[in-house]
Amino acid sequence: MIKSEVSYRRIWSLAWPIILTNITIPLIGATNVAVMGRLPSPIYIGAVSLGVLVLQCIYWSFAFLRKGTTGITAQAYGAKNTPEVCLALVRSLMIAFVLSVLVLILQVPICNLAFKILQASPEVERQAEIFFYIRIWATFPTLANYAMLGWFYGIQKPKKALWLRTLMNLVNIPLAIYLVLVLDTKTEGAAWSALISQIFVFVLSAVVAYTEIKKLNTNAHGIHNFDFIQEVFNKEKLVRIFKVNRDIFIRTVLVYLAFSWFTASSARTSDLVLAANTILINLFWFISYALDGFSNATEALVGEAVGAQNQKLFDEAISKSVKFSLVFALLLSLSFYFGKELILAAMTTHREIQKIALDYFLWLVFIPITGIWCFQADGIFVGMTKTSYMRNNMIISFAVYAIAIVFLPKFFANNGLWMALHIFMIMRGLTLWRDFGKAKNIIK
């Protein structure tokens, strides 16, 4: 049921399940690595780490399916256009299927190119290829799960997404332990556990989504109407979803390149600085997943307001979500500042790495403050489906970041790397908020 106002309680009711859901997303890869770390040879943990890295590069590139689906679904939901709410999911699943077929067709050249770049030892590479060629067959379930995740956010059912993601890990973790450690299937077992858990949750998500679609398309007499499926190939709607996903894809690739550049630059300093930066950047991803909860909630609320053409709902969604997320960001920064020693102790027992990470920890503490503006702006623009602004401003921000990361480390060493990262976040926020006045005219 669509509500006519936005309260802080409503924002939190949407945000907290999304925060927990987002945090669970990388757990399959982390579980595989952790289980392989119990085997006597380091070959296996190295192989799975590389395999997970290559697959994450592929799947993260297609994560636009989540954001693109949320914005379009939320607008149709706000407009009370039930057929388009349902078709938003169907069309996204179609795109996921086409992309999956392309990945499977190109899996051999993708694998060869990836491991040529990574240059592992022959045995690690052989085991990594085993993992890759099994796990790659979960491409469609993985991408389809992205689309369904975005759809559940769009119809404001984040708790369903949370339970589904939780079930995925409840299947994967014991299955990985059983296959790898009990049956001694090593790399194959880790790959099969990930594959099976993705397929399991895809099937379950499809059943839950179908149930929601039946509810949406049941009239007062209890008769189900699925005539909307005839419009699935509507050219105008397909072009729109393609443009939205294309823009978010370009934006996502540039974000990935920015952080890869940061890691590569860290590697050129020293092994200890690289290790310290790796710990800090992993903590950054935790922060980003947490802040994304408010961004995703904003996507749903803004999309609903745009679909309903409700200016009051639109203004409230933006004003209250920004205020709430800023308070959350401040609390997150304070938590990291006062808990820094405990956090670093949990991340590594290496004293020298802890000391170096502590020297640069203040940069991480301020990430929620500098980053919240671009996270919230992303949520607003996705909700409005004004993704061309996201694409264009990301290109500008990346260009500024490229200049910063080339020159600042020459004068400020590792501090210069962190300065460049903060400049990147600030530029993303500034450029998007600069264009907000033009984009918000979507409310007639």
**Could you read off the pLDDT of 166-184 as tens digits, one per residue?**
898 889 889 988 998 888 8
Asked if 180 and 189 count as a contact pair (C-beta separation under 8 A), the reply is: yes
In whole angstroms, give the CA distance from residue 380 to residue 373.
11
Number of H helices, E strands in the chain: 18, 0
Pick the closest to residue 27 from 64, 52, 60 (CA basis): 52
Instruction: List beta partners, residue 218.
Output: 224
In whole angstroms, give the CA distance from residue 379 to residue 299.
5
Residue 5 three-state SS: coil
- Work out the average pLDDT over 104-110: 94
Asked if 394 and 251 count as a contact pair (C-beta separation under 8 A), the reply is: yes
Confidence of residue 220 (pLDDT cuts 50, 70, 90): very low
DSSP, res 255: H
Asked if 279 and 344 count as a contact pair (C-beta separation under 8 A), the reply is: yes
Confidence of residue 364 (pLDDT cuts 50, 70, 90): very high
Mean pLDDT of the chain: 87
DSSP, res 218: B
| pTM of this structure | 0.87
Asked if 96 and 144 count as a contact pair (C-beta separation under 8 A), the reply is: yes
Asked if 118 and 50 count as a contact pair (C-beta separation under 8 A), the reply is: yes
**Could you read off the pLDDT of 41-54 as tens digits, one per residue?**
767 777 777 787 78
**Could you read off the pLDDT of 285-313 as tens digits, one per residue?**
888 888 888 999 999 999 999 998 888 88
Confidence of residue 256 (pLDDT cuts 50, 70, 90): confident
> Quick one: what percent of the chain has pLDDT higher than 90?
48
* Predicted confidence (pLDDT) at residue 130 exceeds the cutoff of 50: yes
- Encoding tokens for residue 416? 């210069």
Give the pLDDT score at 184.
Answer: 83
Confidence of residue 278 (pLDDT cuts 50, 70, 90): confident
Give the gyration radius of the chain's Cα atoms: 22
Residue 224 three-state SS: strand
* Predicted confidence (pLDDT) at residue 127 exceeds the cutoff of 80: yes
